[in-house]
Structure 1
Amino acid sequence: MIEEVKPLVEAGFSVHLLRPKSKIPANDGWSEAPVYTFDQLRKLYRDGQNVGIRLGKPSKVEGLYLHAIDLDIRVPEAKSEALDRLDELISDGDLKELPCVQSGSGGASRHFYFLTEDAFRSKKLAHSKHKFTGDDGKEHWEWEIELFGTGKQVVLPPSIHPDTGKAYRWVLQPDLKRGIPRISADLIDELVGGDESTGFYENSEPLNLTINEARDYLDAIPDWADDRDSWVRVGMALKHEFADDKALIKEAWELFDEWSRRGYGYNRAKNLAQWRGFTFDREELVTMRSIVAEANDRALYETIEELDDEDEERPPAPPSAKVLMSMFDDLDGPPTPPRDQDADPYAILKREGVPDHVLSIPGVLQEVVDYYNATAIKSQPQFAVQAALAFGSVVLGRHWSTNRKNFTSLYFLNLAPTAGGKEHAKRVIEEFLTEAGLDTLTGPKNYASEAGVFSTLLTKPRHICITDEFGRYLSSARGGAGNANKSEAQSALMEVFGRLDGTWQTNGYSTRGMTKEQADAQNNAKVVRPALTLLGMTTPQSFYDALGQKDILDGFLNRFLIVESPLGRQSSREVDGSSLPKRVVRWARQKAWEIGGDDDDLEGMRAMVEPSFAPEPILVPFSKACMPILAEMEQAVSREMDRLDACGMAELYGRTREIAMRMALIVAVSDGCDVIKPRHVEWARDYVFFYQARMAKLFEGNIGKTDIEKACDAVCEYLETCGDDGAPEHQISRQRRKKFGKLSTRERDEVFALLLRDRRIRVTDRTAKRGSKKPWYALVKS
C-alpha cells in the first residue's frame, strides 16, 4: 500500500499513517507532526496500516495548499440536489476535473481535491433542507458539504474502510504532470465567511444532561480550572449544553463560577465577562462530549479496582463511602441477573466440553489433585490438575529423561477472573515441596531481566517460578511498553525451554573494572541442563489485552499449557483441614534426587550439595507400542499448523508434540512405571491437544482484532447481562472501562455505529428517573 502513495508524497502531499482498517491516525500527535518524506513513511509503515493525508497548511503542492471538499450524501435520493448545490458553490471550478475519491463504504459520497493560494481551516458550507432519523435514533441532514483544510485529515486510497472492509478508490486520480485544479482563495474566503450557522460539527447536539450530572463530570476534572485553555473549554461546553433553556443557563453559569473557584486567580467579574463572550461561531465547537470523555478516563472509577490476587481468598475490605454511593448511580438501569455460582463445577465443565479423564491423573499425582480439590475454598478442578503436573514437573526435572531426550520441565498458565481461585495452586505446590524438604526448588515470583533468569539458574538449576502477575509481565515485556529488561527475560525463558538436555550461556557483558578471576568466572558461567518449571496466573482480560501476534510468531506462547476456566468467580465454601498425603511426600522426596549411572549414592549426594553438577538422568524409554501414537500425533500437529497458516497462528502448535512427550514422562513416573506405555502417551496427548485446541480457538477470537473490534465485543458481552432493557452509554463505559470506557468519544460513536449497522444491538430512548432522556442500547437476540 505504501508504494502506491509515493508519487503523492513526492509531490508534496502530507501523507501520514493510520491504524489498520481505521480512519484514526496511528500517531496521537498527528496534527503537529512534521511532514514525512517517503523514506521515513516506508520505515514507519507496518503491514495492514491505512494511509491518510493532512490537508491545508501541511500539504503544500506546487506552492499552493491542498484542500478537499467533503460531499457527504446520506440519502441516495438527494444526490442530484447535493451535486447541484456543490456546483453553485464552486462557480469558478469544474467539478468533473477535480481529483475525486469514493469511500470504501460505497454510495454517492465523495472527496474532491483542489489547490488554493491560502491555507483555510475546515468549515461546513451547506446542508440539505430536510433531515431524516438514522439507525442510531438521531436526526441527520440528508446531505452536507464541508471544506476540509488545516487541522483535518482524510483517508487515502487504497486504504480499507473500517465498516465494510472494502478499499477506498480514486474515481479520478490526480494528474501530477498536468497539475491539480485550482480554486481561487477569494472564492473560498467568500464561502467560509458566510452564514456561521452552518459551522457546527457532527455530534454537536447537547447531551441533555441535568445540572447535577454536569456537576458530577466537572468534579472529576478539578485541575482543568488551573489551565486557561481547559478552563475555557469547560465554560464553552457548559454554555452550549444549556443554551436552549433560559432557566438552566443561569444555573449553568453558577455551576461554572462555582467550579472556577478551584483554579488559581479566581475572579467572579472576569468569569462573568468571559462567560458572556462564549459563542458558538468558532471553527471547532466544544461540547460536553469532550468533558464527559475526559471524566470517564479519570479517577471517577479508579476506586472500583480489581482485588489483589494474593488476597483473593481473604475477606474483602469494606468498600469506601464513594464506592457505596456509586452503587446507587444507576438505579434506573436494569439489574444484572445473578450467576449460578453454586452450580456443580464438574457439571459446568462437562457442559463446556471438558473430557472427564483430563480432570484426573494416573498414579500418585492424583492425590495432589484430590488434596487441591478438598482444600480449595473456590473450586477449580482444572487448576488442580495443572498444579499436580507443575509439581511433578519440578520434582522430576533435570534427573529424569526419555530415550528421546525429553525432560519434564514445562510452562503452565491458568486464566480465571479476580477472586476466581487461581492462588490455591501456589499454596498447594509450596506446601508439598516444603513437607518433602524440597523448598529449595522454589524460585522467585518473577524475573526482572535475562540476568535474573541466568543468576537464578546458576544457584538453582532446577526450580519452579510461580507468578500471579503474568498478564502484566507479558504486557511490560512487549516492545511498545518500553521495558527492554522484561523483553530480554522473556527471550531467556524461551531459550531455556529448549535447552533442557544441553548447556545455556547468557549474553556477554562488560568485564571492565573486574579482576581477571572475576572476568573469567563471568565469561565461563553456564548452566548445564537447566530445568525451569513456570506456573503463571492472571485474569483473561489482562492476558488478552496484553496479547499480540508477535507473542505467537516468536514462539513464546506455544511453550505454555494454557487453561482458561469457564467457572468464573466462585462462591467461597467451607473446607476441612485435610492433611498432606504422605505417599506423595515420600514419592517426591525419593524421585527428586534419584539419578542414573552406577554410583547412585555418591552422585546423588553431589547433586544435592553442588547445584552446578548435572548427574546422569534416569532413562524412562517409550515402549515400541507408543511409536504409532507418536507418529499420529506428528501428523495431527502438521494438519493443524496447515489449517492455522492462513491466519498466521501455525506457530501455536510448534511445541505441542514435544510438550505431550514431556508430560507422558511425568505421568509414567507418577504411575510407577519404568517404561512409558501407550496409556501414558494417550493421556498426555488428550490433555495437551484438548487445551491447545481451546487456546487456538480463543486466540483466533482475540488476536488480530483492532481496538474498535475488541470494544464492540466488550459492549455486546456486557449488554448480554442486561436483558431486554439494555443500558446507557455511561453505564457500559463504567462496566467495560478497559476496552470501551477509555476510548475517545469519536471512537465510542464508531463502536455504536458498527454494532447498529451489523444489527448486533438496537437503540431506544429512555427517560431516567432524574428526568433526562438518553439513548439506551440493548443486544439484538439472534
Structure 2
Amino acid sequence: MSDTTVSNRETALSLAAAGFSVFPCHSGGEKAKSPMPFIKWREASTTSERQILQWWQKWPDAAIGLDLAKSGLIVIDADRHDESADGVEAFGQLMSDHGFDPDSAPLVATPSQGNHHYFRQRPGEALGNSEGAIRGKGINVRGHGGYVIAPGTVMADGRVYELWGDITDPPVIPDWLHGLITTPLEPVRERVSLSPTPSHEQADLDEIAELLGYINPDSGYQDWLAALMAVHAATGGSSTGLAVADDWSARGSKYKGTKELAAKWRSFKGQGVNLATLAALARENGADLSAIAIKHRGHEHDYDPVEAAEAARRLIEHHDGTLADAETGEVVQIEQNVQPERVTNIDYPPGLVGDVARWIVATARKPQPALAIGAALTIVGTAAGRQFMGPTEAGTALYVLALAPTGQGKDLPLKQARRILNASSLPHHLGADEFMSFSAVVNVLKRRPLCLCPMDEFGDFMRRIYDKRASSHARAISKIFRTMWGGNFDEVSTAEWAEKESISIWAPHLSIFGASTHEQFYTALESGAVSDGTLNRFLLIEGAKRPKPVKPKADQFIVPRQIIDDMRIIYFRSGEMAASNRIFPDTDIAGTPGAAFRMKWCADGSEEFFATFSRDIENKMFAEPENVDFIVRTAEMAVRIATIVAAGRHNDSIRLDDIQFGANLAMQSADLMIAGAADYMAETDHQANAQRVVRIIRERGGRMVYRDIARAMKHMKARDIKDMMAGLCEMEILRREEIQKPSGGHPVVWFSAT
C-alpha cells in the first residue's frame, strides 16, 4: 500500500527514477485528471528530475499523469459507476474464469472505487486505448497513446490512488487478456433498417450523402454496388436519391457519371428486381451504411468515421437547461477545454533590466510586463554589447520576439526601445526596422556592428523571407541572421556575391526586438526554419491576449534620468576609448586590451547550477529527439540573458539568481516554440485547417456547434470539413456530442476540444 503522506512531487520523482514518464495534471475541480494548462503530455511527459521539480514548484498540488506508451505499460481500467456498470466485479469474474491470480499483477485502488490493473506490453507490440473491447460494462483499456493517474497520487480532496504490489515489476499481459483485447467483439447493436420507404422525403438525404462520403467511390465493385443499392432502398428509388449517389460516384475514377448509375438501375428493374429485393440484397451484402468499412485503394483502415458518429455521446436537454445522458438519464456536466492562455510568467529581474521594464509598463495603457522585459533585455544588451563577455564567451546580442494579438500593447515596447537609446545619446546603435535583402543587413552591420533593430509586423517580414518565390537575396537574410547570432566575439565573414565582395565583421552584436501575432509569425515559417536553426535563435515571449486597460502612471515621452544614467554607465564600462571603437566593424574587440570585460561566475553556486541545467538540456534532447531543434540553444540563451541582467546590475560576475532567471526564461521560450509549432506550423493545407479548427473551438469556449465551425471554415468544402472533423475525433483531439432539444427535431451536433 502506498504511503499517503508522501507529496505528489516526491512520488513523481520516485516514479521518474524508476523509469516511468510523468507529467502534471489537475488534482481537483472540473478539470480533475486532465493535463495542466499548456502541457502537451504526449510530448512533455518525462523522467527529467529538473523538469519535474520545475512543474511541481509551479503546481505543488498537481496530480501525476503516467504516460503509458513511454513507460511500456497497459492498464485495465475497471470502473464502478453503479450496479449496472460494475467493471470491478466484471473483470474480477474474467480473471476467475481464466484462473488468473489477481495478486500477481500490481493493482491501484482509485478514489472512485475502481481498480487499475497494471501489465507490461509485449515486446515489439503497443496495444492502444479502447472502450468496450472487453465484454463487460465498466471495463476499459488504457495503453499506447493513453495515460492514467499514477499510483501514490493524492488528489485535492485528500483521496489517494493506493498501490498494492510492485509497479516496477508488472507481468507481461497474459494470453487470455491479450486475446480479449485484440479479438473484435460481435456487434450488439441492431442494424439500421433499409426497408423501402414510400417517399424520399422520409429519408435524410444529407445524412445519406454524409455517410456515402465515408466510402471510397473507388472501392471494390461489391462495396460500390452495395452502397448504391442501399441509397436506392433508403430513398424509395427516387430521382433525388439517384442524384445523391451519382454525386458520390462521380468523385471516383472507376464508375463515373449518371449514365453508369442510371444504366445499372435500369438493369435491376429490367430483371424484375423490386425495392424490397434490393433492400434484402443490400442487407445481405452488408450495405447498411452505418456498417460499411472504409476502404482506400485496397487496404482497410481500422477507424470508421460512421462508427465514430454513432459512438458520439448522445445527450438530452431538459427544459431547465440541464443535460442528461440519453441512455442512462444521468445528469451530466459538459467539460469545456478552453485554449489555455500562454503567457510568459516571470518576475522583473534586479537592476537596469527590471527598471526599464517597469518604466515601459508604467507608460502603457495596456501593460504587457513580459513583453516589456523582453524589450529591456535587448535595450540593456545593446548598451553592454561588444563589451561584456559571459563566462562561456557569449555576447549580449538577442533576437527577442514578442507575441500578442493585434492591438494588445506590443507596439509600445518597440517605441520605447528607440526612445531609451535616443535619450541615452546612443542613436548610432539603432538599426533598421526592415531589411529588403541580405545586402541590406550587411550594410547595416558595416556601419553599426553593434545595433538594435526594433521591428514591427515581424511575421510579415519572415513570410517574405521564406516565401518560395522570394529572391535569393531575400532568402539569404535568414542565413546571415543565423551567422551573426553565433558570432559573439569572433570574426565573421559575409558571403561573396557577383557584385559584392566578402567582408569581415568582428564581434557582430545585432539584436532584434520584433513584434508579431502568433498566426502571423508561425504560419510564415517553413518547416525548414526549425531544422535550419533560425527559430531556435529567437527568445520567444508571449504576452496576455487581453491585458486589462489602465491609466498610464508615467509619461511615455520622458525617459527617467536614472535609466539614462545607468545606460551610459554600462556603455562606458570599459572606458570612452573602447566605446569609441565599437562603431568600427574591423576592431578585434576580444583581442584589444581593455575593450572587452569578461564576467565570471559568482561563488554562490551559479556555475554549478548552469552545469546542471546544461546537462538537463542535453538529456532532454536525447529523450525528445523530435524537439531537439527547438531546445538545442536553450543553455546558450540562458547564459546570454544572465550576462545582460548582471551587466544591468553593474556587477562583475553572474549570480545564481541571474542564471536562474535566464534559464527559466530560455526554457519557457523553448516550450513556447514547441507548442506554437504544433498549433500553427503545418506541412499540408489539411493539417493547417485542422489546427485552425481546434484553435477556433478552444478560443470560443471549448465547444462549438458544427454549423458555426462550418461558417468559420467557409473556405473549405462541406465534405472536406466533415472528413477533417471525423479525423480529429478519431485522434481524440475533439469529442462529438449530439444534444436533443426539448422541442424535438434533429439533435444539435457539438464538438468539444479534449
**Smaller-chain TM-score range?**
0.5 to 0.7
Change (3 A) 1:375 1:687: same
Taking the aligned partners of 2:359 and 2:659, their CA distance within structure 1 comes to 25
Amino acid at match of 1:559: R
Change (3 A) 1:510 1:481: closer
Change (3 A) 1:687 1:152: same
| Match 1:682 to one of 657, 660, 674 | 660
Q: Could you give the per-residue CA deviations for residues 714-737 of structure 1, whole angstroms, max 9, x where no partner exists?
A: 3344345667994564x54565xx
SS in 2 for 1:463: strand
Taking the aligned partners of 1:419 and 1:504, their CA distance within structure 2 comes to 38
Change (3 A) 1:420 1:559: same
Deviation of 1:485 after TM superposition, in Å, equals 3.1
| Match 1:128 to one of 230, 233, 236 | 230
TM-score normalised by structure 1 residue count: 0.52
- Any conservation in 2 of the 1:378–1:570 contact (CA below 8 Å)? yes
Which residue of structure 1 aligns with residue 645 of structure 2?
667
Which residue of structure 2 aligns with residue 760 of structure 1?
735
Amino acid at match of 2:530: I
> In the alignment, is residue 408 of structure 1 matched against residue 396 of structure 2?
yes
Deviation of 1:474 after TM superposition, in Å, equals 2.3
- Any conservation in 1 of the 2:378–2:398 contact (CA below 8 Å)? yes
Which residue of structure 1 aligns with residue 545 of structure 2?
568
Deviation of 1:360 after TM superposition, in Å, equals 0.4
> In the alignment, is residue 490 of structure 1 matched against residue 483 of structure 2?
no
> In the alignment, is residue 626 of structure 1 matched against residue 606 of structure 2?
yes
> In the alignment, is residue 604 of structure 1 matched against residue 706 of structure 2?
no
- Any conservation in 2 of the 1:726–1:776 contact (CA below 8 Å)? no
Deviation of 1:493 after TM superposition, in Å, equals 0.3
Q: Could you give the per-residue CA deviations for residues 639-663 of structure 1, whole angstroms, max 9, x where no partner exists?
A: 2212321x3x211111111111111
Deviation of 1:569 after TM superposition, in Å, equals 2.9
Q: Could you give the per-residue CA deviations for residues 306-328 of structure 1, whole angstroms, max 9, x where no partner exists?
A: xxxxxxxxxxxxxxxxxxxxxxx
Taking the aligned partners of 1:497 and 1:113, their CA distance within structure 2 comes to 61
Which residue of structure 1 aligns with residue 620 of structure 2?
640
Which residue of structure 1 aligns with residue 373 of structure 2?
385
Deviation of 1:692 after TM superposition, in Å, equals 2.0
Deviation of 1:574 after TM superposition, in Å, equals 1.9
Change (3 A) 1:700 1:727: closer
Which residue of structure 1 aligns with residue 750 of structure 2?
778
Taking the aligned partners of 2:355 and 2:490, their CA distance within structure 1 comes to 33
| Match 2:587 to one of 607, 613, 623 | 613
Which residue of structure 2 aligns with residue 585 of structure 1?
564
SS in 1 for 2:479: helix
Amino acid at match of 1:613: T
SS in 2 for 1:741: coil
Within-5 A mapping of 1:451-462 = 451-462=439-450
TM-score normalised by structure 2 residue count: 0.53
Q: Could you give the per-residue CA deviations for residues 225-258 of structure 1, whole angstroms, max 9, x where no partner exists?
A: xxxxxxxxxxxxxxxxxxxxxxxxxxxxxxxxxx
- Any conservation in 2 of the 1:125–1:191 contact (CA below 8 Å)? no
- Any conservation in 1 of the 2:418–2:430 contact (CA below 8 Å)? yes
- Any conservation in 2 of the 1:761–1:779 contact (CA below 8 Å)? yes
| Match 1:748 to one of 701, 718, 721 | 721
- Any conservation in 1 of the 2:630–2:674 contact (CA below 8 Å)? yes
Q: Could you give the per-residue CA deviations for residues 630-689 of structure 1, whole angstroms, max 9, x where no partner exists?
A: 2212211112212321x3x21111111111111111111112211222232222122212
Amino acid at match of 2:475: S
Q: Could you give the per-residue CA deviations for residues 136-189 of structure 1, whole angstroms, max 9, x where no partner exists?
A: xxx999x9699978x8559xxxxxxxxxxxxxxxxxxxxxxxxxxxx9xxx999
Within-5 A mapping of 1:192-591 = 194=263, 355=345, 358-478=346-466, 480-511=468-499, 523=501, 525-565=503-543, 567-578=544-555, 579-591=558-570
Alignment gaps of 5+ in structure 1: 1-74, 82-104, 115-121, 134-138, 155-182, 199-347, 512-521, 768-772
- Any conservation in 1 of the 2:382–2:451 contact (CA below 8 Å)? yes
SS in 2 for 1:751: helix
> In the alignment, is residue 656 of structure 1 matched against residue 671 of structure 2?
no
Which residue of structure 1 aligns with residue 328 of structure 2?
none
Deviation of 1:544 after TM superposition, in Å, equals 2.8
- Any conservation in 1 of the 2:382–2:396 contact (CA below 8 Å)? yes
Amino acid at match of 2:618: S
Change (3 A) 1:196 1:664: same
Change (3 A) 1:555 1:527: same
SS in 2 for 1:695: helix
- Any conservation in 2 of the 1:529–1:614 contact (CA below 8 Å)? yes
Deviation of 1:695 after TM superposition, in Å, equals 2.9
Q: Could you give the per-residue CA deviations for residues 12-38 of structure 1, whole angstroms, max 9, x where no partner exists?
A: xxxxxxxxxxxxxxxxxxxxxxxxxxx
Q: Could you give the per-residue CA deviations for residues 39-61 of structure 1, whole angstroms, max 9, x where no partner exists?
A: xxxxxxxxxxxxxxxxxxxxxxx
Deviation of 1:110 after TM superposition, in Å, equals 7.1
SS in 2 for 1:779: strand
Taking the aligned partners of 2:748 and 2:524, their CA distance within structure 1 comes to 31
Deviation of 1:460 after TM superposition, in Å, equals 0.9
Deviation of 1:431 after TM superposition, in Å, equals 1.3
Change (3 A) 1:108 1:369: closer
Taking the aligned partners of 1:723 and 1:634, their CA distance within structure 2 comes to 39
Deviation of 1:588 after TM superposition, in Å, equals 1.2
Deviation of 1:359 after TM superposition, in Å, equals 2.1
Deviation of 1:591 after TM superposition, in Å, equals 2.0
Deviation of 1:748 after TM superposition, in Å, equals 2.4
Deviation of 1:80 after TM superposition, in Å, equals 13
Deviation of 1:123 after TM superposition, in Å, equals 12
- Any conservation in 2 of the 1:719–1:727 contact (CA below 8 Å)? no
- Any conservation in 2 of the 1:376–1:575 contact (CA below 8 Å)? yes
Change (3 A) 1:745 1:685: same
SS in 1 for 2:359: helix
- Any conservation in 1 of the 2:399–2:512 contact (CA below 8 Å)? yes
SS in 2 for 1:453: helix
SS in 2 for 1:546: coil
Change (3 A) 1:474 1:386: same
Amino acid at match of 1:127: M
Deviation of 1:489 after TM superposition, in Å, equals 0.4
Change (3 A) 1:593 1:457: farther
Amino acid at match of 1:663: I
Taking the aligned partners of 1:618 and 1:188, their CA distance within structure 2 comes to 79
Amino acid at match of 2:716: L
- Any conservation in 2 of the 1:463–1:533 contact (CA below 8 Å)? yes
- Any conservation in 2 of the 1:728–1:774 contact (CA below 8 Å)? no
- Any conservation in 2 of the 1:418–1:569 contact (CA below 8 Å)? no
Taking the aligned partners of 2:266 and 2:687, their CA distance within structure 1 comes to 36
Count matched residues.
Answer: 462
The sequence identity of aligned pairs, in percent, is 19
- Any conservation in 2 of the 1:724–1:778 contact (CA below 8 Å)? no
Deviation of 1:502 after TM superposition, in Å, equals 1.6
Deviation of 1:449 after TM superposition, in Å, equals 1.5
Q: Could you give the per-residue CA deviations for residues 182-228 of structure 1, whole angstroms, max 9, x where no partner exists?
A: x9xxx999856627999xxxxxxxxxxxxxxxxxxxxxxxxxxxxxx
Deviation of 1:585 after TM superposition, in Å, equals 0.7
Change (3 A) 1:510 1:108: closer
Amino acid at match of 2:571: A
Change (3 A) 1:364 1:749: same
Change (3 A) 1:720 1:361: closer
Change (3 A) 1:614 1:435: farther
